[in-house]
């Protein structure tokens, strides 16, 4: 097993890894639909934000440049740990409208603790040559950011690739030519249903560096234990919001369940502060409650894994059980297990 625990010393405080950065929609929509969770769910004093979206939302950006802090704008305590990515995911379809320098300025203005470098994500639909160009461009942006970066915030180079060689090669190249505190693996969302491939890619990144490894966009309830097992230090996810939007109820150990499939139940199986005292009908009516529960589900998933490790239980046995219900994820886990065993 490659699972590891570390401590990140950041401008706004310390954080224990592995950790989830719940995605905050601030800047992406006219109103942030991420429910308040900092202070309510003690595991998550962290947030992932999109620096580009915030900068591009003029009224908000004006407030932020006129004395309002990001944390005030988000209505979270000042010691909330913020990871600001470049908003590169939007460049999958849109033209790049920022530079490494501008993104660094934005991230600094926001008082982020971790900066993700500007990146141009890949798509399986792209021609290989186009993806190669994007990989090249992301590496170039990362190196430029490394040259310009100052201050205490950590700089994570965004890395892309759909094969292990490219991932390893890019990380080694960045390691040699830049100065990064960690690496953030991107472009995984478009291939997230190919668990085997994602597993291989994550593992290749883990092998290539001992530094902090973040995986963009894959912190959902199914991926979380897999990523923890593969030694990923942090991940972010908006799955709790998206699932709630689809009236999907996340259950640790089981994945997502459409509420319509269980509507005959009075009470839900989770004893979290959201579900414990309420009936199913109440939660179904209240999307914010469902979103909060889903985030609790992610917290429970993370706690369980930590418990299994700390209690000295057999993690692989736990994951054997955890993944036995789904043939696809079970096969991906079996592949990961074989690869991890060769490394440990």
Partner 1 sequence: MSNAFTISDEQQDYSQYDLNANPFPYSPVPNENPEIYCGQQHVSDKISSTVSSMLATGKSKHLVVTGKYGNGKSHTLKYTRSLLRDREDVVVGYVAQPGDGFLDIYHEFVYDLGFNRIQELAYEYLASVTRDVTDTNPMGAESMESLIDEGDVLLSDIVPEAIRRLSDVTKFADFARAIVHMVYEDTNLYAWQWLTAEGIRYEQRKEMEIHSALDDDTMGVRAFTAFKNMLLDLGYTGVFVFVDEFESIARLTPKNEQATLNSIRHLMDQNSSGLCILFGCAPEVWQDVMSEYHAFSERIGQEVSLRPLTSEHLYELVENYLDKERPSTVESRIRPFTEESLDLILQRSQGNVRQVLALCSRILDDAANENRQEITVDFVEEAI
Q: Which residues bind partner 1 (CB under 8 A)?
A: 127-129, 132-133, 135-136, 139, 163-166, 168-177, 197, 200
> Whole-number minimum distance, CB 181 to partner 1, in Å?
17
Q: What is the largest CA-CA distance in the chain?
A: 59
Q: Which is nearer to partner 1, 208 or 297 (CB)?
A: 208
Provide Rg for the chain, Cα atoms: 20
> Whole-number minimum distance, CB 172 to partner 1, in Å?
2
> Whole-number minimum distance, CB 174 to partner 1, in Å?
7
Contact partners, residue 9, CB within 8 Å, separation at least 6? none
Q: Which is nearer to partner 1, 55 or 160 (CB)?
A: 160
> Whole-number minimum distance, CB 277 to partner 1, in Å?
49
Degrees (nearest 5) of the Cα angle 286, 290, 292?
Answer: 115
Helix-strand-coil split of the chain, %, nearest 5: 45, 15, 35
Find, among 181, 229, 222, the residue nearest to 202 by Cα. Answer: 229
Coil, helix or strand at residue 79: coil
CB 221 within 8 A of CB 301: yes
Q: Which residue has the tokens 């994951």?
A: 319
> Whole-number minimum distance, CB 144 to partner 1, in Å?
14
Q: Which is nearer to partner 1, 96 or 280 (CB)?
A: 96
Coil, helix or strand at residue 278: coil
Q: Say how far apart CA 245 and CA 78 lie, in whole Å.
A: 29
Q: Which is nearer to partner 1, 46 or 199 (CB)?
A: 199
Q: Which is nearer to partner 1, 7 or 127 (CB)?
A: 127
Q: Which is nearer to partner 1, 201 or 259 (CB)?
A: 201
């Amino acid at each position: 097993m490659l699972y590891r625990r570390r401590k990140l010393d950041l401008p706004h405080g310390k954080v224990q890894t592995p950790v989830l950065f719940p995605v905050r929609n601030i800047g992406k929509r006219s109103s942030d639909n991420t429910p308040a969770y900092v202070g309510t769910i003690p595991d998550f004093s962290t947030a992932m934000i999109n620096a580009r979206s915030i900068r591009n939302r003029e009224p908000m950006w004006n407030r932020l440049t006129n004395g309002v802090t990001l944390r005030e704008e988000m209505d979270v305590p000042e010691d909330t740990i913020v990871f600001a990515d470049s908003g590169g995911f939007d460049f999958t379809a849109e033209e790049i409208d920022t530079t490494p320098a501008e993104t660094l300025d934005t991230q600094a203005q926001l008082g982020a603790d971790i900066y993700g470098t500007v990146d141009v994500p890949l798509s399986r639909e792209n021609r290989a040559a186009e993806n190669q160009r994007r990989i090249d461009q992301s590496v170039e942006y990362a190196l430029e950011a490394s040259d310009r970066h100052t201050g205490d915030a950590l700089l994570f180079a965004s890395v892309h690739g759909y094969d292990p060689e490219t991932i390893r090669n890019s990380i080694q190249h960045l390691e040699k030519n830049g100065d990064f505190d960690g690496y953030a693996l991107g472009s995984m969302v478009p291939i997230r249903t190919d668990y085997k491939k994602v597993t291989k890619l994550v593992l290749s990144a883990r092998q290539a560096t001992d530094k902090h490894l973040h995986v963009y966009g894959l912190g959902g309830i199914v991926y979380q234990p897999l990523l923890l097992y593969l030694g990923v230090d942090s991940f972010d996810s908006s799955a709790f919001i998206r699932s709630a939007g689809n009236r999907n109820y996340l259950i640790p150990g089981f994945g997502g369940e459409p509420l319509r499939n269980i509507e005959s139940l009075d009470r839900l199986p989770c004893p979290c502060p959201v579900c414990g005292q309420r009936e199913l009908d109440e939660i179904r009516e209240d999307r914010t409650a469902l979103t909060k529960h889903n985030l609790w589900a992610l917290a429970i998933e993370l706690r369980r894994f930590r418990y299994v490790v700390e209690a000295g239980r057999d993690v692989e046995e736990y994951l054997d059980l955890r993944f036995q219900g789904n043939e696809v994820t079970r096969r991906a886990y079996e592949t990961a297990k074989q690869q991890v065993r060769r490394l440990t």
